[in-house]
Amino acid sequence: MNSNSINSHPGRFAGLAWGAALTTALAASLQAQPYYDFDNGTNTGWRTSTAHPSTITYPTDALGGHAYRLQGTPLATPSGSDTTNSRVISVLTNRVYTNFYAAVDMVAWNTNQDSDMVIGLLGHAYGNEAFPATSQVYDPSNYPYNPDIPNGLIFNVRIHDYRSYTGPGNAGPLGSADQMSAWSFNNFFGQPYLALPVTVTSARFRWVPGHAYRLVLSSTNALGDSPKYYTSSIYDVNDLTMPLLSMTGDDSYNTASDSIPRYGYAGVFAYKLSDGDYDPTVDVTFDNFYVGETAPVTMVVAPAIPHGKVGAPQVINRVPVSFKNFHPVASGIAFNATTLTTTNTVNTNAIKLFLNGVDVSAGLVISGPATNATVSYSGLASNVVYAARIVLQDALSRSTTNEWTFDTFSDPYLASPAVKVIEAEDYDFNSGQFIDDPPASGYANYDAPNDTGTIINSGVGYVDQVGTPGGVDFFDYDGGVHQGENQYRHSDPVGTQQGNFAAFVYGDVSASVLPYGTSQSYDTQRTKYSSLNATLQEYIVERTEGGEWENYTRIFNGSKTYNAYLRAAGGLAQPVRLDQIAAGPVTNLLGRFNVPSTFFVHNYRYAPLVTTNGDLALVNLSGTNTVRLTMDSPQNDATKDGLSLNYVVLVPAVPQLYSSATVNGTYTPELSVLVDTGNKKFTVPRNGATRFYRIGWTSPLTISGVALSGPNVVLSYQ
């Protein structure tokens, strides 16, 4: 049997009945502690598959305890009707659950792209329900649980599903893309395989090696409810305040032959797909497992979740939220540093806050009990893109990190004359024709499944303007339009959508659920859209491939020098190139937007335009100019459909600080720096006993003062 035949399923089995046998099974289940952190270096109470070669070890985890590493290799030859595919399945048999909430940390996995694994959580794991159609009574004693051939529901991440390589050991140009989904895991004829999904797959994101992710799978239905609803989410362990991606679905999407038990155990698994990979093994490390009838009862407010390690320090109630756009400077940063216990404490003297790599902890105001300290910071500057990091330590010297990004731009600032905004979907039309300062346009009251709405600013905006293909106004590998992905420019093959439109069975639980199994989520709606109509949302360019591009012709004020930021979301980190187009084929590279991974294409942030040295690029153009956005990655399946582009914003440039270890040495840009243009000062981390600084700018600037402030150097300029 080919275990990669995930769309195959045998005939329908009918006549399910549930009676006294179920009551007996539930009564016999054990009540036990729902947490299992493996710190004792054992898996007591777990049942693990044995039919395939496997090794279980307990490596040291990040908090000084132990984790749970599952490694497996293929069978040399099939055993009966089984397959040789590597797999390790491990289930906690503390009790049988109907409604359940299960969670686990994924702390390491095989990052070799030659390995195509399905790894994740298993719920409702129980005996084989593939009984003959003539059976009318379900008797668990006839179908005992076997960890080698379970039935159940899996919330899985398929690692390296979309990739580009030519042989063993080839890591590919930019890595690979992963996918998540919830599937039934069925045992028919003595072998398990992936059957049909309970939610349609979300793809084109990538787990970043070195990060840890927390997976959550839950069903809150009572026994006998039909359909049963399942929710699955992925969190970055370094930011448990909100999920990176969530989906929900139900078991009615399956045919009855792909039935999921109505109760069962919960556990973890690693399963190797049969696709001829050069690396046939499985290798994944889990930690901090939890399963209960409901989520842990804590003071953490959804969508945030508690840390998997009970008593570990964590950040809750944080302002601003992750990926926050237009955060008011006056609101500052605020959070609680807590252990979610009444006994273990946070070391308040060790609380650290870093902004763009600079330690600003001296500005923290801390109050309240050490088990739940209130922390605030009021030193933010306007019109800055921040990468923030909070580090906490508890009384046991265990340390955790919270990382996120936000900006302090404002809607009025982006609409002001000081700034120039180029919408990604407003590329040239009719062989280089353009609208210099176009109004917002598009479709209000938009019905995505039927592609209908009320058109706004037709003819004066870019909506439905027809671009000239063939490398004139744009270059796209697709020769024709894609229905459903041409919501703004209906005649062009460039993917243009109102927000992020996706096909799910029940949609993304964080978005508005629409009919026909679709969902639509949106970036921040600016006033330029809402003032025309509250239902006119932002448009994006999506369905990108490496090498594709769009041209944008605008009139520039030559007296202004800008820094540029691209508002984008990316499941896989990719560069986007910005060029000035001169006569003929000549281009002038202005810089690259190195769009970082935001995990999925609905998590937006700003990426700065930088030079090859990494410092902020300066854009100074005069008169009518054409600039080009190019997806600056190879054309391959690993990077396809990996970006959502909203707009480019050109803002007044700020000075750049450079430093060197010697006065006549090579000066390189300070990449960890806070620039306060209002007070004319730079703040940078100390770097060695002696450091020399220079300011790069369009006109001469003078360093007027140098001071040490804790771990930082503060330079004033004029």
Bridge partner list, 163: none
Give the pLDDT band of residue 568 (cuts 50, 70, 90): very high
Q: Report the range of poorest mean pLDDT among 39-53, 272-286, 339-353, 489-503.
A: 272-286
What is the structure's pLDDT at 164? 63
616: which DSSP letter?
B
Helix (H) or strand (E) holding 358: strand 358-359
pLDDT category at 13 given cuts 50, 70, 90 is very low
In the numeric block, the tokens 């600037």 are attached to 701
Q: How confident is the model at residue 590 (pLDDT cuts 50, 70, 90)?
A: very high
Tokens of 73: 């290799």
Distance CA 118, CA 207 (A): 13
HSE, CB side, 13 Å, CA atoms: give it for residue 538: 23
* Residue 273 pLDDT: 76
The CATH superfamily assigned to 33-292 is Exo-inulinase; domain 1 (2.60.120.560)
Q: d(Cα 286, Cα 122) in Å, to the nearest integer?
A: 13
Which of 176-190, 333-347, 679-693 has the least mean pLDDT? 176-190
Beta-bridged to residue 553, according to DSSP, are 626
Distance CA 349, CA 392 (A): 10
Q: How high is the pLDDT of residue 165? A: 56
What is the mean pLDDT of the segment spanning 116-124?
A: 89
Q: What is residue 597's DSSP assignment?
A: P
Residue written as tokens 């499944």? 449
Residue 509 has pLDDT above 70, yes or no: no
Q: Which of 8-12, 42-46, 340-344 has the lowest mean pLDDT?
A: 8-12
User: Above 80 in pLDDT, residue 396?
Assistant: yes
- Which helix (DSSP H) or strand (DSSP E) does residue 578 occupy? strand 574-581
SS in 3 state form for 537-564? CCEEEECCCCCCEEEEEEEECCCCCEEE
Q: Residue 28's pLDDT is what? A: 36
pTM > 0.85 = yes
Q: Any idea where the domains of the chain sit in the sequence?
A: 33-292, 314-407, 411-652, 656-717
What mean pLDDT is predicted for residues 536-561? 96
**Residue found under tokens 């409901």:** 294
Q: State residue 103's pLDDT score.
A: 97
Sequence-distant (≥ 6) Cβ neighbours of residue 150 within 8 angstroms: 89, 91, 122, 125, 126, 127, 185, 187, 192, 264
Judge whether residue 592 has pLDDT over 70: yes
The yes-or-no verdict on residue 301 having pLDDT over 50 is yes
Mean pLDDT of 285-313: 95
Examine the pLDDT at 107 and tell me if it is beyond 50. yes
* Rounded Cα distance, 238 and 74, in Å: 34
Nearest alpha carbon to residue 68 among 256, 278, 288 = 288
**Half-sphere exposure (Cβ direction) of 73: Cα atoms closer than 13 Å:** 4
Is the pLDDT at 518 greater than 70? The verdict is no
Average pLDDT over residues 414-439: 97
For the CA atoms of 580, 655, 527, 438, the dihedral, rounded to the nearest 10 degrees, stands at -20
Q: Which helix (H) or strand (E) holds 530?
A: helix 527-530
Partners of residue 266 on adjacent β-strands: 92
pLDDT at 620: 96
HSE-up (13 A, CA, CB side) for residue 378: 3
pLDDT of residue 189: 41
When comparing pLDDT for 681 and 250, which is higher? 681
pLDDT-derived band at 19, boundaries 50, 70, 90: very low
Percentages (nearest 5) of helix, strand, coil residues in the chain: 5, 40, 55
* 157 beta partners: 119, 180
Domain 314-407 matches domain 411-652 at the CATH topology level: no
Residues ≥6 apart with Cβ < 8 Å to 20: none
Distance CA 248, CA 230 (A): 6
Q: Which among 57, 51, 50 has a CA at the least distance from the CA of 71?
A: 57
Give pLDDT, residue 31: 43
What confidence tier does 163 reach under pLDDT thresholds 50, 70, 90? low
- Say whether pLDDT at 12 is over 80: no
CA atoms within a 13 Å half-sphere pointing along the CA-CB vector of 357: 13
* Distance of alpha carbon 385 from alpha carbon 692, whole angstroms: 26
* CA atoms of 71 and 61, how far apart (whole Å): 17
The answer, yes or no, to whether residue 201 has pLDDT greater than 70, is no
pLDDT tens per residue, range 653-695: 999 999 999 999 999 999 999 999 999 999 999 999 899 999 9
At 257, is the pLDDT very low, low, confident or very high (cuts 50, 70, 90)?
A: very low
Give residue 25's pLDDT. 35
pLDDT average, residue stretch 161-184: 60
3-class secondary structure, 230:
strand
CATH superfamily placement of domain 411-652? Galactose-binding domain-like (2.60.120.260)
DSSP 241: T
**pLDDT for residue 23:** 33
Give me the half-sphere count of Cα atoms (radius 13 Å) on the Cβ side of residue 25: 24
Helix (H, G, I), strand (E, B) or coil at 637: coil
- Of residues 470 and 414, more confidence is placed in 414
User: From CA 601, how far away is CA 657, in angstroms rounded?
Assistant: 33
Kindly report, residue by residue over 130-140, the tens digit of the pLDDT: 444 444 344 55
What is d(CA 599, CA 700) in angstroms, rounded to the nearest whole number?
A: 41
Name beta bridge partners: 288. none
Average pLDDT, the chain: 85
> CATH says 314-407 is which class?
mainly beta
- Poorest-pLDDT segment among 5-19, 181-195, 242-256: 5-19
Where does the pLDDT of residue 171 fall: very low under 50, low under 70, confident under 90, or very high at 90 and above? very low
* The predicted structure's pLDDT at residue 203: 67
User: Is the confidence at residue 20, as pLDDT, over 50?
Assistant: no
